[in-house]
Structure 1
């Protein structure tokens, strides 16, 4: 889940329900980065809750993090997409629940309103068994209301998917990513992304899994504990045939390196 407010504050939130062997963890995390660079980061590994769809909006309440919020879709929910499958019990499914949404959030003295996004990833295989070397992900909200979301896998199972307003678009030749994370080229279009504002960067053992239970860290291999991730947020510009002037907006995007 995410949100960008009118003054440029960015919120990233995660809620997960993980079963690994005999270990069951309900993890939630919250990251707030304001326009001046002040960072609020909190996470919990107990009593987390997944969002629920109630009366036309996605609602999320996480008492351990003292946060509540709602995502009201302005772009319809996308159909689930299978990203990977190697049998009935080894699958990865991805769904854009709110490609673009109006967001309201409240947490410990913060009241935030803006435009946001929500997705759900469901998998029943170990992340370290995925056949990929790197992942590029992002979402672009144009000022005129257009919403783009993309996923690119690089490695033994290359994958390129892009949604426009929640619907898959044709990608002859796939998506060409720029290694620096500064943009994408696809179907005769170019999406330029800003990498000036880093929201989070480093090994996930030092970010996502900070203060995680020792039993969980012992179950995870080094290949997962030392994943390298970088997330950015900033202005973005879409250049496409027939548009005339570039289409401006805001993007949140990331690059995750599974292997050096």
Structure 2
């Protein structure tokens, strides 16, 4: 498979990083750092979502040049001087990858460099420790050309156990689900529960904290119009109106042959491109 971070010197391409952090103090950070090439220009985008137990959710974003995350070995570093934050993600699980979509010469590859991480963040005068996750998607065709109906995505950790899941509904339903690094088939997935028939694991997601609930694509496209006049006019209405909900959940994990339930944390989302 071609290196997912490779991109052509000209033409259209998108590179989008997603990193998250769940702190020991209960704080949560979501980072989107992306670049989009369009008609000879490169447009950067950075979006931060912070949840702090004492003040709730806050969001900041900008379309000015910043630094994409940098990977070296098992480390990923990311620094944003404008937002006054710096972080180091250290992998504690091996990378995952998948080809999520392919049609003719249109290919969308996904690289999860860190399905589970130990994270250290410096923000202002504070240093926060916790766990996290890091992935990157790159494509050389416009993602709104995918006839996407629904997307479910998420990851979780509980003690020594972890999982990552993706479910796409395009012309048919496709799943990519891993339990402790092993790809699993035939899983049942919803916004509140995930069942692995092998090894007989049930994850219950409480959806206790809504991090985002909005037509995010429409909002971002509206901002992009300032950089690309008429940009929103080329986007399909269903793509613009897609509704996204992202949760931070406490989980209860039950496994056949293991007594009792164990807890943990999860970040997960549902995107509906056919809202009613």
TM-score, normalising length: structure 1: 0.87
Deviation at 1:72, TM superposition (A): 0.6
Cα distance 1:245–1:216, how it changes in 2: closer, same or farther (>3 A)?
farther
* 1:57 aligned residue (75, 83, 86): 75
Deviation at 1:109, TM superposition (A): 5.1
Report the equivalent of 2:245: 230
Residue 169 in structure 1 maps to residue 169 in structure 2: no
Report the equivalent of 1:250: 265
Answer yes or no: is the 8 Å Cα contact 1:161–1:168 preserved in 2: no
Residue 106 in structure 1 maps to residue 122 in structure 2: yes
Residue 130 in structure 1 maps to residue 136 in structure 2: no
Deviation at 1:67, TM superposition (A): 2.2
- Mean CA deviation greater in 215-224 or 67-76: 215-224
Cα distance 1:241–1:134, how it changes in 2: closer, same or farther (>3 A)?
same
SS of 1:243's equivalent in the other structure is: coil
Show structure 2 runs of 5+ residues with no match.
1-18
Paired with 1:55 and 1:148, the residues of 2 have a C-alpha distance of: 22
Deviation at 1:55, TM superposition (A): 5.8
Residue 197 in structure 1 maps to residue 197 in structure 2: no
The number of residue pairs the alignment matches comes to: 252
Paired with 1:63 and 1:124, the residues of 2 have a C-alpha distance of: 29
SS of 1:223's equivalent in the other structure is: helix
Please list every run of at least 4 consecutive aligned residues from structure 1 whose deviation after the TM superposition is greater than 6 angstroms. none
RMSD (CA atoms)? 2.2
Report the equivalent of 2:7: none
Paired with 1:61 and 1:245, the residues of 2 have a C-alpha distance of: 41
* 1:83 aligned residue (72, 89, 100): 100
Report the equivalent of 1:95: 111
Deviation at 1:160, TM superposition (A): 0.7
SS of 1:225's equivalent in the other structure is: helix
Cα distance 1:97–1:150, how it changes in 2: closer, same or farther (>3 A)?
same
What's the CA shift string for 1:65-120, capped at 9, x where partnerless? 33211101111222x21111113x31111111111111112234553221111111
Deviation at 1:28, TM superposition (A): 1.0
Paired with 2:227 and 2:48, the residues of 1 have a C-alpha distance of: 22
Answer yes or no: is the 8 Å Cα contact 1:44–1:64 preserved in 2: no
Paired with 1:7 and 1:206, the residues of 2 have a C-alpha distance of: 33
Matches within 5 A, 1:152-167: 152-165=167-180, 167=181
Show structure 1 runs of 5+ residues with no match.
none
Paired with 2:121 and 2:221, the residues of 1 have a C-alpha distance of: 24
Paired with 2:228 and 2:257, the residues of 1 have a C-alpha distance of: 51
Paired with 2:128 and 2:229, the residues of 1 have a C-alpha distance of: 33
